[in-house]
């Protein structure tokens, strides 16, 4: 299924500023958060879609690329939502495409020059980490299927005691030339694949490639403060090159798993906490969980309403490559009592009789006064 337009996902205009994007994201993220939609697969997908869209549009560089090229700007290199550890290879880029299209007419000039074998391909590994791991950082081990240097021939591709010889077709140049009218066209030698050498006695373990398919285990440091879509480059940990050529790199793409209690927005954390009606009415103190696994006390003033936020400074996420932390915002939702006993019901009925609605519930009183005025105007 084709991806929806990121602006459509957030329900904003393409000219929306950062504040508008942020408000739209927060509103929809609260609506489709997994904590509010237990077992709802559709809501979970929408939540992931919202995070992906906001991650791009809140970043000026990513937004500029998206506005110009759309989803194609991130194909093959951008973060992919969902999933656990995943692996795929990728190599090339614009330079490789340019060489493929024009290299024969421009005399080569790309990845292979002279008799040098090709550099190993870059690899990509998709990894999902928890919000706690993103806060604390962690050392993780990953298993990557890849090509490694052949340990029998040490990457030479030839049997012990033998050596590659110059390719008889291209004379060791790695390229052949043909004359077509006024033009001389240079192409990669088909006999040696551009290496410039052929092997008379190929290594039996690797069939002359100088590398073998194996799975290797790597230890990866996930720093504290990483965000969804963070890319970590492990130089030289990609596929081994042909016949001793340099290896490629491994790119680790991180996906932060949704949390059942916390919602992250940059370095800040939001947590929605249910509040007893009595505490909301009379005031008091509540304890809330924090991302580091501790508890923090929040003082609730009398008359607190649903939606009120309390800010806990320095209780948010770690900031990448910085000792500072973001803030935590606690949003309360006043809970209406259920399963009342007869005595509790009597007390509430007495409270209703003795209290003046305009004093104890000014918002509802004011609302229904406006409704009454509206109905009277309609009658007139």
Reading phi first (left if > 0) and then psi (alpha if -120 to 50, else beta), residue 361 is in: beta
Looking from the CA of 199 toward its CB, the CA atoms found within 13 Å total 23
- Of 233, 212, 208, 204, which Cα lies nearest the Cα of 221? 233
- Distance CA(73)–CA(58), nearest Å, equals 16
Q: Do residues 113 and 196 make contact, with C-beta atoms less than 8 angstroms apart? A: no
- Of 86, 22, 31, which Cα lies nearest the Cα of 53? 22
Long-range contacts of 139-143 (CB under 8 A, 24+ apart): 139/219, 139/220, 139/221, 139/222, 140/219, 140/220, 140/222, 141/217, 141/218, 141/219, 141/220, 142/85, 142/217, 142/218, 142/220, 142/252, 143/215, 143/216, 143/217, 143/218
- Of 14, 13, 12, which Cα lies nearest the Cα of 27? 12
Q: Do residues 150 and 209 make contact, with C-beta atoms less than 8 angstroms apart? A: yes
Task: List the binding residues.
Answer: 150, 153, 167, 170, 189, 192, 203, 206
What residues have CB less than 8 Å from 185, skipping those under 6 apart?
104, 105, 177, 178, 179
- Distance CA(30)–CA(123), nearest Å, equals 36
Task: List the binding residues for Zn(2+).
Answer: 150, 153, 167, 170, 189, 192, 203, 206
- Distance CA(196)–CA(191), nearest Å, equals 9
What residues have CB less than 8 Å from 117, skipping those under 6 apart?
195, 210, 241, 242, 243, 244, 245
């Amino acid at each position: 299924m084709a991806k929806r337009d990121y602006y459509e996902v957030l329900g904003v205009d393409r000219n929306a500023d950062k504040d508008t994007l942020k408000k739209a994201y927060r509103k929809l993220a609260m609506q489709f958060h997994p904590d509010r939609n237990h077992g709802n697969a559709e809501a979970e997908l929408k939540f992931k879609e919202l995070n992906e869209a906001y991650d791009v549009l809140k970043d000026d560089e990513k937004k500029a690329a998206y506005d110009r090229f759309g989803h194609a700007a991130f194909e093959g290199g951008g973060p992919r939502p969902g999933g656990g550890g995943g692996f795929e290879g990728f190599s090339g880029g614009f330079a490789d495409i340019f060489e493929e299209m024009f290299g024969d007419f421009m005399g080569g000039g790309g990845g292979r020059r002279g008799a040098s074998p090709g550099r190993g391909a870059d690899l990509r590994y998709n990894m999902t980490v928890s919000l706690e791991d993103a806060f604390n950082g962690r050392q993780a081990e990953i298993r990557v299927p890849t090509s490694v240097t052949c340990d029998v021939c040490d990457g030479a591709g030839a049997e012990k005691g033998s050596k590659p010889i110059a390719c008889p077709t291209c004379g060791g140049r790695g390229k052949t030339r043909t004359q077509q009218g006024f033009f001389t066209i240079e192409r990669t030698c088909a006999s040696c694949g551009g290496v410039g050498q052929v092997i008379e006695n190929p290594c039996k373990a690797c069939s002359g490639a100088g590398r073998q398919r194996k799975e290797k285990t790597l230890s990866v440091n996930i720093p504290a403060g990483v965000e969804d879509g963070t890319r970590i480059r492990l130089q030289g940990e990609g596929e081994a090159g042909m016949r001793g050529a340099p290896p490629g790199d491994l790119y680790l793409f991180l996906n932060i798993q949704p949390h059942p209690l916390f919602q992250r927005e940059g370095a800040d954390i939001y947590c929605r906490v249910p509040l007893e009606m009595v505490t909301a009415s009379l005031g008091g103190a509540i304890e809330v969980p924090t991302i580091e696994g501790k508890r923090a006390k929040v003082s609730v003033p009398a008359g607190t309403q649903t939606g009120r936020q309390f800010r806990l400074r320095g209780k948010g996420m770690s900031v990448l490559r910085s000792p500072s932390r973001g803030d935590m915002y606690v949003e309360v939702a006043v809970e209406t009592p259920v399963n009342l006993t007869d005595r509790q019901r009597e007390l509430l009925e007495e409270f209703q009789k003795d209290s003046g609605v305009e004093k104890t519930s000014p918002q509802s009183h004011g609302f229904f006064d406006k409704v009454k005025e509206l109905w009277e105007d309609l009658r007139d």
